[in-house]
Chains A and B, each alone.
Chain A
Amino acid sequence: MNSAADIVFDEATKTYPGSVRPALDALSLTVPAGEICVLLGSSGCGKTTALTLVNRLTELTGGDIRIDGTSIREQDVIALRRGIGYVIQQAGLFPHLTIAQNIATVPQVLGWPKPRIEDRVRELLELVGLPHGEYGDRYPAQLSGGQQQRVGIARALAADPPIMLMDEPFGALDPVTREHMQDEFLRLHAQVRKTTLFVSHDIDEAVRMGDRIAVLAEGGKLLQYDTPERILHAPADDYVARFVGTDRGLKALTLRRLSDLTLEPYAGGANGTALRADDSLRTALSALLAAGADRLPVTDADGHPVGTVTVDLIREAA
């Protein structure tokens, strides 16, 4: 199976039976192969609808969606779904099956030979950081929320689908675990490069996760589809500006790292206050303010000095 495919929404529209207004109104956008697109918006603006139109848990009432150029309407719905990983908020693990059996479900119904399934389960558990020996035979109830969501992701990846749909996958986790899982998923995504549609109502998560962000509003209307930088620096209208928040200037700083800047030459400085080159500009600014300084030394991961950052440098970069 190919490792990624692009997804094209072409005036995709859904009006639920008994409702006059569409839940998703003529959505048109393209998610390039291998990228993460975050569908961002407040509750009820059609994010889940947009997502489930792709795997046809919800059927289109207008327009079309194409995966690698083929309309989803033309594909057998079961085959279509088996080629799409699907991750939901509470993981939706099968409580009566072990972790290994949960992950093996799609390969099993696809009729893979047993040894291949076993190898795949082992590989995936390794990939999401849950060693098979320790976790394979456990039941979902014996795992923490974060661990369950890892299994949910492994299960979605089982048959190596080119596409992943993730509906607020980390929404039920505590903030610390959530941030950790976001990092883990980004690391994992860098390895597997699945085209990913990711639903979120959290601007910080969207900025972290998305290569692109689609901002949706009430009635399923697309307000802006752009990179996180553009959404933060040039919101399309007042609604988007309000949604991304008055601190969007600070949020934008999370997108850049010190290593992206041309730093001033290293000139020594207080030990222990040094920043690392892979720190974000937001972290750097925070450290500068906390230290009451207008310049701080920067080192690489091994502690070797690489330069000096100043408040002015950050202002220019923002």
Chain B
Amino acid sequence: MHTFLDCFAFMAGHFGLLLDRTIDHLLLSAAAVALALVLALPLGVWLGHRGRGSFLTVSVSNIGRALPSLALIAIFLGLLGIGFVNVMTALVVMAVPPALTHAYLSVEQIDRDVVRAARGMGLTERQILTRIELPLALPVLFTGIRIAAVYVISSATLAAVAGGGGLGDIILNQVSYGLSGVIAAALWVAALALAADALFGMLGTRIARGRYGGGR
């Protein structure tokens, strides 16, 4: 209990340091999430549009679920050695399954009659995608982005192992910062993950609500 309170003293005393590491942490996370989205979203949306690929997303997401994220990173680093690129790769690999699954589902779950009507009235495949499918997919798509972001922010702590910086630097360095520093940084990571969750959640509901004019 004592150390728990001490950690707030640590936060007050090392605010600059925490802020600095937070920025590193977020930049690293953002880069990993962005890279994962660039890979996963177009593929997932395309598979959803074609109505194919359920097997793929199911298996990919199961791999993602079956392997705890930290273990995944450990395997990665064990296999490939520690290094910034490898940590980044591990984070991206973790973010892809939820992003890909949700991108696929976001399009695949759209009422087939709606798409059939669009195609039947002579919209091109591109118009079906941009005018109909993507707007209807956005809420679920955002859920995928949100989950990917939370995964990555909580796991980016591991970057410190590879000298990647971020809040992990503090968490993994009890010698320098003491137990209160470790707990303080860990709390910050948790807070960041929660904040990202809330932020994307809010964006998602805004998008969903802005249009539809009430439930179905």
- With A and B bound together, what is the CA distance between A83 and B113 in angstroms? 20
Chain A residues, Cβ within 8 Å of B116: 57, 88, 92
**Residues 259-280 (chain A) with a chain B CB within 8 angstroms:** none
Interchain CB contact under 8 A, B120 and A86: yes
Which of the segments B48-56, B74-82, B121-129, B160-168 contacts the partner chain? B121-129
Task: Indicate which residue in A86, A95, A165 contacts B136 across the interface (CB closer than 8 Å).
Answer: A95
- With A and B bound together, what is the CA distance between A152 and B120 in angstroms? 12
Chain A residues, Cβ within 8 Å of B211: 96, 139
Task: Indicate which residue in B113, B131, B212, B215 contacts A92 across the interface (CB closer than 8 Å).
Answer: B113
A106 at the interface (CB under 8 A from B): yes
- With A and B bound together, what is the CA distance between A80 and B123 in angstroms? 11
Contact (A92, B214) CB under 8 Å given A78-B124, A106-B122: no
A139 CB to nearest B CB, Å: 3
A176 at the interface (CB under 8 A from B): no
- With A and B bound together, what is the CA distance between A275 and B124 in angstroms? 54
Interchain CB contact under 8 A, A86 and B213: no
Interchain CB contact under 8 A, B122 and A139: no
Chain B residues, Cβ within 8 Å of A142: 213-214
- With A and B bound together, what is the CA distance between A283 and B127 in angstroms? 50
Closest to A87 in B: B117
The total of chain A residues at the interface (CB under 8 A) is 33
Closest to B119 in A: A57
Interchain CB contact under 8 A, B121 and A86: yes
B118 at the interface (CB under 8 A from A): yes
Interchain CB contact under 8 A, A156 and B212: no
- With A and B bound together, what is the CA distance between A165 and B124 in angstroms? 19
Interface bits B133-150 vs A (CB < 8 Å: 1, else 0):
001100000000000000
Interchain CB contact under 8 A, A94 and B212: no
A55 at the interface (CB under 8 A from B): yes
Closest to B210 in A: A96
- With A and B bound together, what is the CA distance between A187 and B135 in angstroms? 36
Interchain CB contact under 8 A, A82 and B121: yes
A224 at the interface (CB under 8 A from B): no
Interchain CB contact under 8 A, B121 and A155: yes
A20 at the interface (CB under 8 A from B): no
A302 CB to nearest B CB, Å: 44
Closest to A102 in B: B117
B2 at the interface (CB under 8 A from A): no
- With A and B bound together, what is the CA distance between A272 and B212 in angstroms? 50
B132 at the interface (CB under 8 A from A): yes
A138 at the interface (CB under 8 A from B): yes
Interchain CB contact under 8 A, A96 and B135: yes
Interchain CB contact under 8 A, B114 and A93: yes
Chain A residues, Cβ within 8 Å of B124: 78, 109
B124 CB to nearest A CB, Å: 6
Contact (A109, B122) CB under 8 Å given A96-B211, A139-B214: yes
- With A and B bound together, what is the CA distance between A156 and B123 in angstroms? 13
Chain A residues, Cβ within 8 Å of B213: 98, 138-139, 141-142
9 more A-B residue pairs beyond the given contacts A94-B114, A94-B136, with a C-beta to C-beta distance below 8 A: A52-B120, A78-B122, A91-B117, A92-B113, A95-B212, A105-B118, A105-B121, A139-B214, A141-B214
- Chain B residues with CB under 8 Å of chain A are 111, 113-114, 116-124, 127, 131-132, 135-136, 211-216
In the A-B complex, the 9 residue pairs with the closest CB atoms: A92-B117, A139-B213, A81-B122, A82-B122, A86-B120, A92-B113, A96-B211, A141-B216, A96-B135
Contacts A/B (CB < 8 Å), 21 sampled: A78-B122, A82-B121, A84-B122, A86-B117, A86-B120, A88-B120, A90-B111, A91-B117, A92-B113, A92-B114, A92-B117, A95-B111, A95-B216, A98-B213, A105-B121, A139-B211, A139-B213, A141-B212, A141-B213, A141-B214, A152-B117
